[in-house]
Amino acid sequence: MGLVKAASALNLLHPLPETGVTEAFQTLLTRPGVRVERIVSDGQCSPPGFWYEQAWEEWVLILQGSGTVEFAEGQVWTLGAGDSLLIPAHCRHRVAHTAARTVWLALHFGEDPA
């Protein structure tokens, strides 16, 4: 009889990392072509003039708090708990605002998300 792998459990809201100057990123799962992470924000946002432009797609879900994502084309999305957003590959975007203790679940997939 082979070994049985035990399931693992994790609460995404408890415990949260201490409040810091920078956002807290925690990789939860990596598989070929996929990375899942928890991001905890405390009012941080992208620096002025900075834009992310990733070679892969990213789907984000707000578990707690709120955040605003701006796109270079002018779209602005303000997300609250339960809201999600799909960010296409090569789409210039930035985080314009986050509330204290905002918890994001981010799924990176496609070309080189590791």
| pTM of the predicted model as reported, rounded to 2 decimal places | 0.89
Residue type, 27: T
- List domains and CATH numbers for the chain: 24-110 (2.60.120.10)
Q: What percent of the chain has pLDDT over 70?
A: 96
Q: What percent of the chain has pLDDT over 90?
A: 85
Q: What confidence tens digit (pLDDT) does each residue in 67-79 have?
A: 999 999 999 999 9
Reading phi first (left if > 0) and then psi (alpha if -120 to 50, else beta), residue 12 is in alpha
